[in-house]
Amino acid sequence: MQLHNKPKKIAYYGLLIAVAFVLSYLESLIPAFVAVPGVKLGLTNLVVLIALEYFGYKEAFVINMIRILLVGLTFGNGFSLIYSFAGGILSFVMMVLLKKTGKFSLSGISVSGGVSHNLAQILVAAVILQSHALFYYLPVLLISGTVAGLVIGLISAEILKRLPKTF
């Protein structure tokens, strides 16, 4: 599903980034279920998964970086940006790796994204806070990353079924 019309492509990148914005905002409205930092649904990953389906890896990466930067600047502070980038980069790399093997469905790819996102954030927090106490959160964040990944994987599969194969 490749697009060959450049202006159209760019328009769709913008569209996806805008959707990621809205999803981020919506997610910030959901109260935290668990008193552990980092537990979230990861709705914005929907956009990354869709971008990976329709566009190449490089384009999807750029879309991912831009939306992290814009969302981080708008809703977060300089401090949260480093967490977002760490999570966003590691999860993107993992998702691409899994996708390239061709052996995983959207659910598996999404789970790898969710889990690695959380792993990256724990690692960054442990380094910044100089504390290994962060690793006690590993079980919770691994499970929540998996559950969120499965849910997002399901949703993205349903969305992709309803989107046109080409634009």
Partner 1 sequence: MKKADMVLVAVVILAAAISLFLGQFLKREGTFATVSVDGSVVAEYALDEDGTYAIKGADGGVNILVIEDGKAFLSEADCPDKLCVKQGSISKVGGSIICLPHKVVIEITGEGEKIQIDAVTQ
Six-digit token string for 93 = 């790399």
Least spacing, CB of residue 34 vs partner 1, in Å: 9
Q: How many other C-beta atoms are found inside a 10 Å radius of the C-beta of residue 102?
A: 6
Contact 100, 142 (CB under 8 A): no
Whole-angstrom distance, CA of residue 163 vs CA of residue 52: 14
Nearest to 112 by CA among 47, 161, 42, 62: 42
- CB of 74 or CB of 131, closer to partner 1: 131
Q: Which is nearer to partner 1, 97 or 163 (CB)?
A: 97
Minimum distance from residue 9 beta carbon to partner 1 (Å): 30
Q: How far apart are CA 147 and CA 142, in angstroms?
A: 9
CB of 101 to partner 1, least distance (A): 8
* Cβ closest to partner 1, residue 21 vs residue 108: 108
Which C-beta is closer to partner 1: that of 14 or that of 139? 139
The least distance separating partner 1 from the CB of residue 117, rounded to whole angstroms, comes to: 13
d(CA 24, CA 35): 19
CB of 38 to partner 1, least distance (A): 9
Q: Which of 100, 119, 122 is nearest to 111 (CA)?
A: 119
- Pair of tokens at residue 125: 């927090």
Q: What is the contact surface with partner 1 in residues (CB under 8 A)?
A: 32, 35-37, 79, 98, 101, 103-105, 107-108, 111-112, 115, 125, 128-131, 133-136, 138-139, 142-143, 145-146, 150
Of residues 25 and 104, the one with the C-beta less far from partner 1: 104
Residue 130 tokens read as: 């100089």
